Amino acid sequence: MPKLLQLTSLHPDAQARLAAGYQLVSVELTAVDAAWMAEHAASIEGVVTGGHLGVPPALLAELPRVKVIGINGVGFDKIDLEDAKRRGVRVANTPGVLTEDVADLAVGLTISLLRRLPQADAHVRAGRWPSGEVPLATKVSGKRIGIFGLGRIGHAVAKRFSGFTETIAYADVARQDVPFAYYPDPAALAAASDVFVICAAASAETRRAVGDAVFDALGPPGVLVNVARGSIVDEPALVAALLEGRLGGAALDVFEDEPNIPAALRTMDNVVLTPHIASATHETRRAMGHLMIDNLDAFFAGRPMPTPVV
């Protein structure tokens, strides 16, 4: 029975299946120290991790028998793929199964932000309704939607927003055969958008690609929605733009240093914050876990993995 290092939690159904087929050593990434290494490093054959955690190269270097990494998620930016390839380590993720949930949340965050749903909820819960109504909010229908990154999730976001508006545009590395306006870079897209939705993959090219040029192009009427990766946004610049009123608002599910976020964001009335929950439904987390195990099972059986990255 192969021995795996498990760094992330799984849906209970998937966890039961994983435990039935593998010998597991579960530990938080921050608890992997010299004593742990001395006891386990030489026997670990694979790693189960999340896209938000990855496997640091320094850790992988200390696990000589590891030949496969299963990511319970779609993002692989926290894994050095070139390093993994040099070491002969295969990497697989779980694309596709979380697309619908992430797209749903992008729309939900937009509605929450523009219609000020958190404030309305707080108004009722605090018993303030008898004393007066909440301030007027902003209409969602008819807004110009800009999507940065038109991959699987970007397409799903566009499909959902097509029920709200006829004006959808995108920016990506190349023009696609779609009925949406194309812009060559994020700032140009932002200038033509009221709502700027980030769906791009995290990479060296997209790191902090959304910064002052985008915020200033959106302006005080515009808002930012991020359901991709926190590293894509210049977070200090975002905080400054919001504080200075150069950007109208932001709805964020991801952050640069999760779970730590800038304190200023927590105090802003024009910001909606969620704790990286885009894929956090029973149905999707179950499907993610089982696809991740399908990849591991295939690898250890010598079969092609269903969704390999490298």
Hey, which residues are catalytic here?
229, 258, 276
d(CA 190, CA 224): 9
Classify strands 23-26 and 3-6 as parallel, antiparallel or unpaired. parallel
Closest CA to 160 of 206, 213, 114, 102: 102
Q: Name the percent of the chain in helix, strand, coil, to the closest 5.
A: 40, 15, 45
Chain-centre distance of CA 276, in angstroms? Answer: 7
Classify strands 68-71 and 23-26 as parallel, antiparallel or unpaired. unpaired
- What contacts 149, CB < 8 A, 6 or more positions away? 170, 171, 172, 198, 199, 200, 201, 206, 228
d(CA 251, CA 269): 11
